[in-house]
Structure 1
Amino acid sequence: MDQGFIKLNRKFFSHRMWEAARTFSECEAWIDLIQSARFEATVTIERIGGREIKYGRGQYPASNRYLARKWGWGEQKVKTFMRKLRTEKMIEVEKSQGMNIVTLCKYDVYNGHNSDNISPESPSMVLVIRELSDVKTQPVTRSLTCDQPTDNPNFKKEKKEEERITISPYSPPREYEKMNFDFLDTRLREHFFQWLDYKTSKGQMYKNRRSIELCYKRLITKSQGDCGVAVAIIEQSMANNWNGLFDLQQHKDANSNKLTNGYPKQADYTVDM
Protein backbone atom coordinates (compact mmCIF):
# COMPACT_ATOMS: atom_id res chain seq x y z
CA MET A 1 0.00 0.00 0.00
CA ASP A 2 1.62 3.21 -1.17
CA GLN A 3 -1.31 5.63 -1.08
CA GLY A 4 -2.02 8.23 1.58
CA PHE A 5 0.40 9.65 4.12
CA ILE A 6 1.24 9.50 7.81
CA LYS A 7 1.17 12.57 10.05
CA LEU A 8 3.67 11.89 12.83
CA ASN A 9 3.38 13.67 16.17
CA ARG A 10 6.71 14.92 17.52
CA LYS A 11 5.92 13.20 20.82
CA PHE A 12 6.82 9.97 19.06
CA PHE A 13 10.50 10.89 19.34
CA SER A 14 10.29 10.85 23.13
CA HIS A 15 8.49 7.49 23.15
CA ARG A 16 10.33 4.44 24.48
CA MET A 17 10.17 2.77 21.05
CA TRP A 18 12.21 5.54 19.44
CA GLU A 19 14.50 5.99 22.43
CA ALA A 20 15.27 2.28 22.70
CA ALA A 21 19.01 1.55 22.55
CA ARG A 22 19.86 0.34 19.04
CA THR A 23 21.99 0.96 15.99
CA PHE A 24 20.19 3.40 13.72
CA SER A 25 19.72 2.72 10.03
CA GLU A 26 20.66 5.54 7.64
CA CYS A 27 16.95 6.23 7.16
CA GLU A 28 16.47 6.61 10.94
CA ALA A 29 19.52 8.87 11.14
CA TRP A 30 18.12 11.12 8.40
CA ILE A 31 14.72 11.29 10.12
CA ASP A 32 16.50 12.10 13.38
CA LEU A 33 18.28 15.03 11.74
CA ILE A 34 14.94 16.35 10.46
CA GLN A 35 13.22 16.09 13.84
CA SER A 36 16.22 17.46 15.75
CA ALA A 37 16.66 20.59 13.63
CA ARG A 38 15.24 23.78 15.10
CA PHE A 39 11.60 24.28 14.00
CA GLU A 40 11.05 27.81 15.34
CA ALA A 41 11.73 30.68 12.93
CA THR A 42 13.72 32.67 15.50
CA VAL A 43 17.47 32.36 15.94
CA THR A 44 18.59 30.96 19.29
CA ILE A 45 21.87 30.92 21.21
CA GLU A 46 22.71 27.81 23.21
CA ARG A 47 25.75 27.06 25.34
CA ILE A 48 27.24 23.78 24.14
CA GLY A 49 30.61 22.43 25.20
CA GLY A 50 31.60 25.74 26.73
CA ARG A 51 30.77 27.70 23.57
CA GLU A 52 27.90 30.04 22.75
CA ILE A 53 26.43 28.44 19.62
CA LYS A 54 24.02 30.44 17.45
CA TYR A 55 21.68 28.62 15.08
CA GLY A 56 18.26 29.03 13.49
CA ARG A 57 15.40 27.25 11.77
CA GLY A 58 16.38 24.04 10.00
CA GLN A 59 19.76 23.92 11.74
CA TYR A 60 21.16 21.47 14.27
CA PRO A 61 24.44 21.83 16.18
CA ALA A 62 25.97 18.39 16.71
CA SER A 63 29.49 16.95 16.66
CA ASN A 64 30.29 13.69 14.89
CA ARG A 65 31.13 12.16 18.25
CA TYR A 66 27.72 13.12 19.66
CA LEU A 67 25.88 11.73 16.63
CA ALA A 68 27.93 8.52 16.83
CA ARG A 69 26.76 7.95 20.41
CA LYS A 70 23.19 8.93 19.57
CA TRP A 71 22.91 6.64 16.56
CA GLY A 72 25.01 3.76 17.88
CA TRP A 73 27.56 4.25 15.11
CA GLY A 74 31.31 4.77 14.91
CA GLU A 75 32.59 8.26 14.13
CA GLN A 76 33.96 7.10 10.79
CA LYS A 77 30.49 5.96 9.71
CA VAL A 78 29.01 9.33 10.76
CA LYS A 79 31.62 11.13 8.65
CA THR A 80 30.84 8.93 5.66
CA PHE A 81 27.09 9.42 6.04
CA MET A 82 27.33 13.19 6.44
CA ARG A 83 29.60 13.38 3.39
CA LYS A 84 27.00 11.39 1.47
CA LEU A 85 24.23 13.80 2.50
CA ARG A 86 26.36 16.78 1.45
CA THR A 87 27.02 15.16 -1.93
CA GLU A 88 23.27 14.66 -2.39
CA LYS A 89 22.81 18.36 -1.42
CA MET A 90 20.53 17.36 1.44
CA ILE A 91 22.58 19.15 4.10
CA GLU A 92 25.33 21.71 4.52
CA VAL A 93 27.80 21.74 7.40
CA GLU A 94 29.71 24.78 8.66
CA LYS A 95 32.24 24.88 11.49
CA SER A 96 32.88 28.60 11.96
CA GLN A 97 31.63 28.50 15.57
CA GLY A 98 33.93 25.67 16.60
CA MET A 99 31.21 23.04 16.24
CA ASN A 100 29.42 21.38 13.35
CA ILE A 101 26.21 23.25 12.48
CA VAL A 102 24.14 20.99 10.23
CA THR A 103 21.73 22.86 7.95
CA LEU A 104 18.97 20.90 6.23
CA CYS A 105 18.91 22.40 2.75
CA LYS A 106 15.18 22.02 2.03
CA TYR A 107 13.83 22.12 5.56
CA ASP A 108 11.05 24.62 4.80
CA VAL A 109 9.81 22.60 1.85
CA TYR A 110 9.08 19.37 3.72
CA ASN A 111 8.60 20.75 7.23
CA GLY A 112 6.45 23.80 6.63
CA HIS A 113 3.92 25.34 9.00
CA ASN A 114 0.88 24.31 6.91
CA SER A 115 1.31 20.60 7.53
CA ASP A 116 -2.45 20.07 7.87
CA ASN A 117 -2.79 20.42 4.10
CA ILE A 118 -0.10 17.90 3.17
CA SER A 119 -1.08 15.34 0.56
CA PRO A 120 0.84 12.41 -0.89
CA GLU A 121 1.39 14.40 -4.10
CA SER A 122 2.46 17.63 -2.36
CA PRO A 123 6.02 18.87 -3.01
CA SER A 124 6.92 18.26 0.63
CA MET A 125 5.92 14.60 0.69
CA VAL A 126 7.37 13.91 -2.77
CA LEU A 127 10.68 15.49 -1.72
CA VAL A 128 10.98 13.47 1.49
CA ILE A 129 10.24 10.22 -0.36
CA ARG A 130 12.64 11.09 -3.19
CA GLU A 131 15.48 12.04 -0.89
CA LEU A 132 15.12 8.90 1.19
CA SER A 133 15.25 6.91 -2.06
CA ASP A 134 18.20 8.82 -3.47
CA VAL A 135 20.50 8.20 -0.51
CA LYS A 136 22.53 5.23 -1.69
CA THR A 137 22.43 3.18 1.48
CA GLN A 138 24.10 -0.08 2.33
CA PRO A 139 22.88 -2.43 5.06
CA VAL A 140 24.70 -2.11 8.37
CA THR A 141 24.30 -5.79 9.10
CA ARG A 142 22.98 -8.79 7.22
CA SER A 143 22.52 -12.23 8.67
CA LEU A 144 23.93 -14.97 6.52
CA THR A 145 21.40 -17.39 7.95
CA CYS A 146 18.54 -15.67 6.06
CA ASP A 147 17.02 -17.56 3.17
CA GLN A 148 18.55 -16.49 -0.14
CA PRO A 149 17.59 -17.47 -3.70
CA THR A 150 19.79 -20.21 -5.10
CA ASP A 151 20.36 -18.24 -8.33
CA ASN A 152 22.12 -15.46 -6.40
CA PRO A 153 25.69 -15.37 -7.83
CA ASN A 154 27.03 -14.40 -4.42
CA PHE A 155 25.32 -17.23 -2.57
CA LYS A 156 28.23 -19.70 -2.67
CA LYS A 157 30.72 -17.02 -1.71
CA GLU A 158 28.62 -15.95 1.29
CA LYS A 159 28.10 -19.53 2.40
CA LYS A 160 31.87 -19.93 2.58
CA GLU A 161 31.98 -16.96 4.97
CA GLU A 162 29.49 -18.18 7.55
CA GLU A 163 31.82 -17.12 10.34
CA ARG A 164 31.58 -13.53 9.13
CA ILE A 165 28.23 -12.63 10.61
CA THR A 166 27.93 -9.04 9.40
CA ILE A 167 28.69 -7.10 6.26
CA SER A 168 30.15 -3.67 6.99
CA PRO A 169 29.93 -0.66 4.64
CA TYR A 170 32.57 1.38 6.45
CA SER A 171 35.37 3.02 4.51
CA PRO A 172 39.01 3.45 5.57
CA PRO A 173 40.38 6.92 6.33
CA ARG A 174 41.19 8.99 3.25
CA GLU A 175 44.93 8.41 3.66
CA TYR A 176 44.42 4.65 3.19
CA GLU A 177 41.64 4.62 0.57
CA LYS A 178 43.84 3.02 -2.12
CA MET A 179 44.85 0.10 0.10
CA ASN A 180 43.15 -3.30 -0.04
CA PHE A 181 41.74 -4.34 3.34
CA ASP A 182 40.39 -7.74 2.32
CA PHE A 183 42.28 -9.31 5.23
CA LEU A 184 39.96 -7.66 7.78
CA ASP A 185 37.13 -9.55 9.44
CA THR A 186 34.02 -7.62 8.37
CA ARG A 187 32.87 -7.47 12.00
CA LEU A 188 35.96 -5.44 12.88
CA ARG A 189 36.20 -3.15 9.84
CA GLU A 190 34.50 -0.14 11.42
CA HIS A 191 36.48 -0.36 14.65
CA PHE A 192 39.83 -1.01 12.94
CA PHE A 193 39.24 1.94 10.59
CA GLN A 194 38.51 4.05 13.67
CA TRP A 195 41.90 2.96 15.01
CA LEU A 196 43.59 4.00 11.74
CA ASP A 197 41.78 7.34 11.88
CA TYR A 198 42.85 7.80 15.51
CA LYS A 199 46.50 7.04 14.67
CA THR A 200 46.40 9.45 11.74
CA SER A 201 45.04 12.22 13.98
CA LYS A 202 48.11 11.69 16.20
CA GLY A 203 50.45 12.02 13.21
CA GLN A 204 51.38 8.32 13.36
CA MET A 205 50.44 6.89 9.98
CA TYR A 206 51.34 3.32 9.10
CA LYS A 207 53.97 3.21 6.38
CA ASN A 208 52.49 0.46 4.22
CA ARG A 209 49.97 -2.37 4.01
CA ARG A 210 52.39 -4.82 5.63
CA SER A 211 52.69 -2.74 8.80
CA ILE A 212 48.89 -2.49 8.98
CA GLU A 213 48.55 -6.26 8.56
CA LEU A 214 51.04 -6.85 11.39
CA CYS A 215 49.09 -4.50 13.65
CA TYR A 216 45.86 -6.33 12.81
CA LYS A 217 47.45 -9.74 13.46
CA ARG A 218 48.69 -8.46 16.81
CA LEU A 219 45.14 -7.37 17.64
CA ILE A 220 43.74 -10.80 16.73
CA THR A 221 46.43 -12.51 18.82
CA LYS A 222 45.78 -10.33 21.87
CA SER A 223 42.01 -10.86 21.58
CA GLN A 224 42.41 -14.60 20.88
CA GLY A 225 40.09 -14.19 17.91
CA ASP A 226 37.23 -12.79 20.02
CA CYS A 227 35.75 -9.81 18.16
CA GLY A 228 34.21 -8.36 21.32
CA VAL A 229 37.60 -8.38 23.05
CA ALA A 230 39.27 -6.92 19.96
CA VAL A 231 36.82 -3.99 19.92
CA ALA A 232 37.37 -3.43 23.64
CA ILE A 233 41.15 -3.39 23.11
CA ILE A 234 40.84 -0.71 20.42
CA GLU A 235 38.48 1.41 22.50
CA GLN A 236 40.71 1.04 25.58
CA SER A 237 43.75 2.36 23.72
CA MET A 238 41.88 5.29 22.15
CA ALA A 239 40.21 6.22 25.46
CA ASN A 240 43.61 6.30 27.20
CA ASN A 241 45.37 8.09 24.32
CA TRP A 242 47.83 5.21 23.96
CA ASN A 243 50.03 4.79 20.90
CA GLY A 244 49.61 1.03 20.63
CA LEU A 245 47.21 -1.85 21.22
CA PHE A 246 47.56 -3.64 24.57
CA ASP A 247 45.90 -6.51 26.39
CA LEU A 248 42.75 -5.62 28.27
CA GLN A 249 43.50 -4.84 31.90
CA GLN A 250 41.24 -7.62 33.13
CA HIS A 251 43.06 -10.14 30.90
CA LYS A 252 46.58 -9.09 31.89
CA ASP A 253 48.91 -11.57 33.54
CA ALA A 254 49.77 -9.83 36.79
CA ASN A 255 53.29 -11.25 36.71
CA SER A 256 54.22 -10.29 33.16
CA ASN A 257 52.22 -7.13 32.50
CA LYS A 258 52.06 -5.15 35.71
CA LEU A 259 50.48 -1.70 35.69
CA THR A 260 52.18 1.40 37.05
CA ASN A 261 49.70 3.90 38.45
CA GLY A 262 47.01 2.48 36.20
CA TYR A 263 49.04 2.79 32.97
CA PRO A 264 51.09 0.25 31.01
CA LYS A 265 54.74 0.13 31.97
CA GLN A 266 57.02 2.39 29.94
CA ALA A 267 58.09 -0.36 27.55
CA ASP A 268 54.52 -0.60 26.31
CA TYR A 269 54.57 2.96 24.96
CA THR A 270 56.41 2.06 21.76
CA VAL A 271 54.64 3.43 18.70
CA ASP A 272 52.65 0.68 16.99
CA MET A 273 53.64 1.50 13.44
Structure 2
Amino acid sequence: MDKGFIKLNRKFFSHKMWEAARTFSECEAWIDLIQSARFEATEQIERIGGREICFGRGQYPASNRYLARKWGWGEQKVKTFLGKLKIERMIKVDTSQGMNVITLCKYNSYNGTTQPDNSDDNSSIDLLFKELRDLKTQLEAQQMTQAQLTDNPNLKKEKKEEERNTNSPYNPPKGYEKFNFDFLDLGFKESFFVWLSYKTSKGQKYKSQRSIELCYKQLKVKARENPRMATLIIEQSMASNWNGLFELKEHKNAESNQTKGTDGKRADYSIGM
Protein backbone atom coordinates (compact mmCIF):
# COMPACT_ATOMS: atom_id res chain seq x y z
CA MET A 1 0.00 0.00 0.00
CA ASP A 2 3.02 2.32 0.29
CA LYS A 3 4.22 1.97 -3.33
CA GLY A 4 2.95 3.03 -6.74
CA PHE A 5 0.68 5.90 -7.76
CA ILE A 6 -2.94 6.99 -7.52
CA LYS A 7 -4.01 7.68 -11.09
CA LEU A 8 -5.91 10.98 -11.31
CA ASN A 9 -7.32 12.31 -14.56
CA ARG A 10 -6.42 15.97 -15.15
CA LYS A 11 -10.10 16.66 -15.86
CA PHE A 12 -10.55 16.56 -12.08
CA PHE A 13 -9.01 20.04 -11.83
CA SER A 14 -11.80 21.49 -13.99
CA HIS A 15 -14.49 19.73 -11.95
CA LYS A 16 -16.82 21.85 -9.81
CA MET A 17 -15.50 20.20 -6.64
CA TRP A 18 -11.99 21.53 -7.30
CA GLU A 19 -13.12 24.89 -8.67
CA ALA A 20 -15.44 25.60 -5.72
CA ALA A 21 -14.70 28.98 -4.12
CA ARG A 22 -12.64 28.44 -0.98
CA THR A 23 -9.41 29.26 0.80
CA PHE A 24 -6.86 26.64 -0.23
CA SER A 25 -4.94 24.63 2.36
CA GLU A 26 -1.17 24.35 1.88
CA CYS A 27 -1.69 20.79 0.68
CA GLU A 28 -4.17 21.94 -2.00
CA ALA A 29 -1.81 24.74 -3.04
CA TRP A 30 1.04 22.23 -3.49
CA ILE A 31 -1.16 19.91 -5.56
CA ASP A 32 -2.24 22.91 -7.64
CA LEU A 33 1.41 23.75 -8.40
CA ILE A 34 2.03 20.16 -9.54
CA GLN A 35 -0.99 20.09 -11.88
CA SER A 36 -0.33 23.63 -13.20
CA ALA A 37 3.30 23.05 -14.19
CA ARG A 38 3.98 22.44 -17.88
CA PHE A 39 3.85 18.73 -18.74
CA GLU A 40 5.23 18.78 -22.30
CA ALA A 41 8.98 18.41 -22.77
CA THR A 42 9.25 21.32 -25.23
CA GLU A 43 9.71 24.89 -24.04
CA GLN A 44 6.77 27.28 -24.22
CA ILE A 45 6.82 31.07 -24.67
CA GLU A 46 3.80 33.01 -23.49
CA ARG A 47 3.11 36.71 -23.18
CA ILE A 48 2.20 37.35 -19.53
CA GLY A 49 1.84 40.80 -18.02
CA GLY A 50 3.41 42.42 -21.06
CA ARG A 51 6.49 40.16 -20.95
CA GLU A 52 7.57 37.20 -23.07
CA ILE A 53 8.02 34.40 -20.52
CA CYS A 54 9.85 31.21 -21.49
CA PHE A 55 9.29 28.04 -19.45
CA GLY A 56 9.60 24.30 -19.91
CA ARG A 57 8.61 20.96 -18.43
CA GLY A 58 7.95 21.08 -14.69
CA GLN A 59 7.85 24.89 -14.65
CA TYR A 60 4.99 27.29 -13.92
CA PRO A 61 5.11 31.10 -14.41
CA ALA A 62 2.92 32.82 -11.81
CA SER A 63 3.20 36.01 -9.75
CA ASN A 64 2.53 36.05 -6.01
CA ARG A 65 -0.47 38.27 -6.68
CA TYR A 66 -1.99 35.78 -9.13
CA LEU A 67 -1.46 32.84 -6.77
CA ALA A 68 -3.00 34.84 -3.91
CA ARG A 69 -6.20 35.32 -5.92
CA LYS A 70 -6.19 31.72 -7.11
CA TRP A 71 -5.77 30.23 -3.65
CA GLY A 72 -7.80 32.79 -1.70
CA TRP A 73 -4.70 33.90 0.25
CA GLY A 74 -2.85 37.14 0.93
CA GLU A 75 0.33 37.86 -1.03
CA GLN A 76 2.46 37.63 2.13
CA LYS A 77 1.13 34.13 2.83
CA VAL A 78 2.01 33.07 -0.74
CA LYS A 79 5.54 34.46 -0.32
CA THR A 80 5.96 32.60 2.99
CA PHE A 81 4.63 29.33 1.52
CA LEU A 82 6.92 29.46 -1.52
CA GLY A 83 9.83 30.24 0.78
CA LYS A 84 9.01 27.15 2.83
CA LEU A 85 8.95 24.98 -0.31
CA LYS A 86 12.34 26.36 -1.37
CA ILE A 87 13.85 25.56 2.02
CA GLU A 88 12.50 21.99 1.72
CA ARG A 89 14.03 21.81 -1.80
CA MET A 90 10.63 21.09 -3.31
CA ILE A 91 10.78 24.07 -5.73
CA LYS A 92 13.14 26.64 -7.19
CA VAL A 93 12.04 30.16 -8.16
CA ASP A 94 13.68 32.20 -10.94
CA THR A 95 12.78 35.90 -11.29
CA SER A 96 15.26 36.79 -14.06
CA GLN A 97 12.43 37.22 -16.62
CA GLY A 98 10.60 39.77 -14.48
CA MET A 99 8.14 37.21 -13.08
CA ASN A 100 8.26 34.15 -10.86
CA VAL A 101 9.02 31.01 -12.85
CA ILE A 102 8.51 28.18 -10.37
CA THR A 103 10.40 24.95 -11.08
CA LEU A 104 9.17 21.81 -9.34
CA CYS A 105 12.11 19.69 -8.20
CA LYS A 106 11.68 16.01 -9.13
CA TYR A 107 8.79 16.82 -11.43
CA ASN A 108 9.25 13.50 -13.27
CA SER A 109 8.53 11.67 -10.02
CA TYR A 110 5.13 13.35 -9.61
CA ASN A 111 4.06 12.37 -13.13
CA GLY A 112 5.14 8.72 -13.01
CA THR A 113 7.55 8.85 -15.96
CA THR A 114 10.43 6.44 -16.45
CA GLN A 115 12.92 9.24 -17.05
CA PRO A 116 15.86 9.13 -14.58
CA ASP A 117 16.01 11.78 -11.90
CA ASN A 118 19.42 11.86 -10.19
CA SER A 119 19.14 15.18 -8.37
CA ASP A 120 19.11 13.36 -5.02
CA ASP A 121 20.35 10.01 -3.72
CA ASN A 122 17.06 9.25 -1.95
CA SER A 123 14.17 7.50 -3.64
CA SER A 124 12.08 10.16 -5.40
CA ILE A 125 8.83 8.29 -4.77
CA ASP A 126 9.58 7.92 -1.06
CA LEU A 127 10.34 11.62 -0.89
CA LEU A 128 7.04 12.49 -2.55
CA PHE A 129 5.06 10.43 -0.05
CA LYS A 130 7.02 11.96 2.83
CA GLU A 131 6.22 15.47 1.58
CA LEU A 132 2.53 14.67 1.18
CA ARG A 133 2.39 13.01 4.61
CA ASP A 134 3.99 16.08 6.19
CA LEU A 135 1.51 18.38 4.45
CA LYS A 136 -1.36 16.13 5.52
CA THR A 137 -0.16 16.28 9.13
CA GLN A 138 0.00 20.07 8.98
CA LEU A 139 -3.52 20.26 7.55
CA GLU A 140 -4.91 17.94 10.25
CA ALA A 141 -3.22 20.03 12.94
CA GLN A 142 -4.78 23.20 11.53
CA GLN A 143 -8.21 21.58 11.43
CA MET A 144 -7.84 20.33 15.02
CA THR A 145 -6.87 23.81 16.21
CA GLN A 146 -9.89 25.30 14.43
CA ALA A 147 -12.18 22.70 16.01
CA GLN A 148 -10.81 23.52 19.46
CA LEU A 149 -11.46 27.21 18.91
CA THR A 150 -15.02 26.46 17.83
CA ASP A 151 -15.76 24.19 20.80
CA ASN A 152 -14.01 26.24 23.46
CA PRO A 153 -15.38 29.82 23.79
CA ASN A 154 -12.45 30.86 26.00
CA LEU A 155 -9.86 29.79 23.41
CA LYS A 156 -11.90 31.48 20.69
CA LYS A 157 -11.93 34.73 22.69
CA GLU A 158 -8.17 34.51 23.28
CA LYS A 159 -7.57 33.89 19.58
CA LYS A 160 -9.57 36.97 18.60
CA GLU A 161 -7.65 39.06 21.13
CA GLU A 162 -4.36 37.77 19.73
CA GLU A 163 -5.40 38.69 16.19
CA ARG A 164 -6.30 42.21 17.30
CA ASN A 165 -2.88 42.65 18.91
CA THR A 166 -0.82 41.52 15.90
CA ASN A 167 0.02 43.28 12.67
CA SER A 168 -2.09 41.10 10.40
CA PRO A 169 -4.03 41.69 7.16
CA TYR A 170 -6.96 40.17 9.04
CA ASN A 171 -7.04 43.08 11.50
CA PRO A 172 -9.30 46.11 10.84
CA PRO A 173 -7.48 49.00 9.14
CA LYS A 174 -6.63 52.14 11.08
CA GLY A 175 -9.71 54.10 12.05
CA TYR A 176 -12.03 51.07 12.14
CA GLU A 177 -10.88 49.49 15.42
CA LYS A 178 -14.12 50.34 17.23
CA PHE A 179 -16.35 48.47 14.74
CA ASN A 180 -17.39 44.81 14.99
CA PHE A 181 -16.28 42.69 12.01
CA ASP A 182 -17.46 39.27 13.23
CA PHE A 183 -19.91 39.21 10.30
CA LEU A 184 -17.06 38.91 7.76
CA ASP A 185 -16.32 35.55 6.13
CA LEU A 186 -12.65 34.60 6.34
CA GLY A 187 -12.17 34.40 2.56
CA PHE A 188 -13.43 37.99 2.09
CA LYS A 189 -11.80 39.62 5.13
CA GLU A 190 -8.40 40.66 3.75
CA SER A 191 -9.70 42.12 0.46
CA PHE A 192 -12.58 43.92 2.24
CA PHE A 193 -10.13 45.57 4.64
CA VAL A 194 -8.09 46.69 1.61
CA TRP A 195 -11.26 48.35 0.30
CA LEU A 196 -11.87 50.14 3.62
CA SER A 197 -8.28 51.46 3.62
CA TYR A 198 -8.70 52.64 0.01
CA LYS A 199 -11.92 54.53 0.87
CA THR A 200 -10.22 56.15 3.87
CA SER A 201 -7.37 57.33 1.65
CA LYS A 202 -9.97 59.10 -0.53
CA GLY A 203 -11.49 60.81 2.52
CA GLN A 204 -14.63 58.66 2.29
CA LYS A 205 -14.46 56.64 5.52
CA TYR A 206 -17.57 54.65 6.46
CA LYS A 207 -19.04 56.20 9.59
CA SER A 208 -21.42 53.56 10.96
CA GLN A 209 -21.63 49.82 11.59
CA ARG A 210 -24.69 49.66 9.38
CA SER A 211 -22.99 51.28 6.36
CA ILE A 212 -20.04 48.86 6.61
CA GLU A 213 -22.32 45.82 6.79
CA LEU A 214 -24.40 47.01 3.80
CA CYS A 215 -21.24 47.56 1.76
CA TYR A 216 -20.02 44.05 2.54
CA LYS A 217 -23.43 42.54 1.77
CA GLN A 218 -23.55 44.19 -1.66
CA LEU A 219 -19.94 43.15 -2.39
CA LYS A 220 -20.82 39.50 -1.76
CA VAL A 221 -23.86 39.78 -4.05
CA LYS A 222 -21.83 41.36 -6.86
CA ALA A 223 -19.09 38.74 -6.39
CA ARG A 224 -21.63 35.89 -6.35
CA GLU A 225 -20.28 34.73 -2.97
CA ASN A 226 -16.84 34.14 -4.58
CA PRO A 227 -13.88 35.58 -2.59
CA ARG A 228 -11.60 35.66 -5.62
CA MET A 229 -14.15 37.56 -7.67
CA ALA A 230 -14.58 40.00 -4.76
CA THR A 231 -10.84 40.69 -4.84
CA LEU A 232 -10.97 41.36 -8.60
CA ILE A 233 -13.95 43.70 -8.17
CA ILE A 234 -12.10 45.69 -5.51
CA GLU A 235 -8.91 45.84 -7.59
CA GLN A 236 -10.96 47.00 -10.60
CA SER A 237 -12.45 49.91 -8.62
CA MET A 238 -9.10 50.90 -7.10
CA ALA A 239 -7.29 50.78 -10.45
CA SER A 240 -10.03 52.95 -12.01
CA ASN A 241 -10.15 55.32 -9.00
CA TRP A 242 -13.86 54.64 -8.61
CA ASN A 243 -15.80 55.52 -5.48
CA GLY A 244 -17.93 52.36 -5.56
CA LEU A 245 -17.94 48.66 -6.40
CA PHE A 246 -19.33 47.22 -9.63
CA GLU A 247 -19.67 43.77 -11.17
CA LEU A 248 -16.75 42.92 -13.44
CA LYS A 249 -18.88 42.58 -16.56
CA GLU A 250 -20.27 46.08 -16.01
CA HIS A 251 -16.99 47.95 -15.63
CA LYS A 252 -17.30 49.91 -18.87
CA ASN A 253 -20.79 51.12 -18.05
CA ALA A 254 -19.78 51.81 -14.47
CA GLU A 255 -16.95 54.08 -15.54
CA SER A 256 -19.29 56.01 -17.82
CA ASN A 257 -22.00 56.33 -15.16
CA GLN A 258 -19.60 57.52 -12.49
CA THR A 259 -18.22 60.25 -14.73
CA LYS A 260 -21.66 61.71 -15.39
CA GLY A 261 -24.97 61.23 -13.53
CA THR A 262 -28.47 61.53 -14.92
CA ASP A 263 -28.57 65.28 -14.10
CA GLY A 264 -25.32 65.97 -15.97
CA LYS A 265 -23.24 66.24 -12.80
CA ARG A 266 -20.58 63.90 -11.51
CA ALA A 267 -22.25 60.98 -9.72
CA ASP A 268 -21.06 59.25 -6.56
CA TYR A 269 -21.74 55.51 -6.59
CA SER A 270 -20.23 54.70 -3.22
CA ILE A 271 -21.77 51.67 -1.49
CA GLY A 272 -23.31 52.24 1.93
CA MET A 273 -21.55 55.53 2.80
TM-score, scaled relative to structure 2: 0.60
Q: Which residue of 2 aligns with 1:236?
A: 195
Cα contact 1:165–1:187 (8 A) shared by 2: no
Structure 1 residue 110: Cα displacement? 2.8
1:93 match: secondary structure: strand
Question: How many residue pairs were aligned?
Answer: 201
Q: Distance in 1 between matches of 2:20 and 2:64?
A: 20
**What is the aligned-residue identity percentage?**
51
Query: What displacement does 1:139 show?
Result: 2.0
Query: What is the match of residue 52 of structure 1?
Result: 52
- Give deviations 1:209-241, integer Å, cap 9, x for gaps: xxxxxx4xx3221x3354629756522145569
RMSD: 3.9
Residue-by-residue CA offset, 1:108-163 (whole Å, 9 max, x unaligned):
23324349xxxxxx94432211122345836277133667xxxxxxxxxx541334
Deviation at 1:188, TM superposition (A): 9.0
1:89 is matched with which residue?
Answer: 89
Secondary structure, in 3 states, of the residue corresponding to 2:46? strand
What is the Cα deviation at residue 90 of structure 1? Answer: 0.6
1:208 is matched with none
Partner SS for 1:144 = helix
Residue aligning to 2:223? none
Instruction: Give structure 2 stretches of 5+ with no counterpart.
Output: 116-121, 213-241, 245-273
Following TM superposition, by how much is the alpha carbon of 1:190 offset from its aligned partner in structure 2, in angstroms?
Answer: 4.1
Distance 2:18 2:196 in 1: 32
Partner amino acid, structure 1, of 2:101: I
State how 1:189-228 maps to structure 2 within 5 Å: 189-192=168-171, 215=174, 218-221=175-178, 223-226=179-182, 228=184
Q: 229, 247, 272: which is aligned to 2:206?
A: 247
The match for 2:147 is 143
Q: TM-score scaled by structure 1?
A: 0.60
Counterpart CA distance in 2 for 1:248 and 1:43 is: 54
- Asked if 1:129 corresponds to 2:137, the answer is no
Kindly provide the CA deviation profile for residues 158-195 of structure 1, in whole angstroms up to 9, marking residues without a partner as x. 541334678xxxxxxxxxxxxxxx743499944349x7
- The residue type equivalent to 2:155 in the other structure is E
Which residue identity lines up with residue 14 of structure 1 in the other structure? S
Please name the residue that 1:24 is paired with: 24
How far, CA to CA, are the matches of 2:15 and 2:91 in structure 1?
26
* SS of aligned partner of 2:156: coil
Residue identity matched to 1:224: N
Q: Please show how residues 103-118 of structure 1 align to structure 2 within 5 Å.
A: 103-114=103-114
Instruction: Kindly provide the amino acid, as one letter, of the partner of residue 27 in structure 2.
Output: C
Structure 1 gaps of 5+ residues are 116-121, 148-157, 167-181, 196-214, 253-260, 264-273
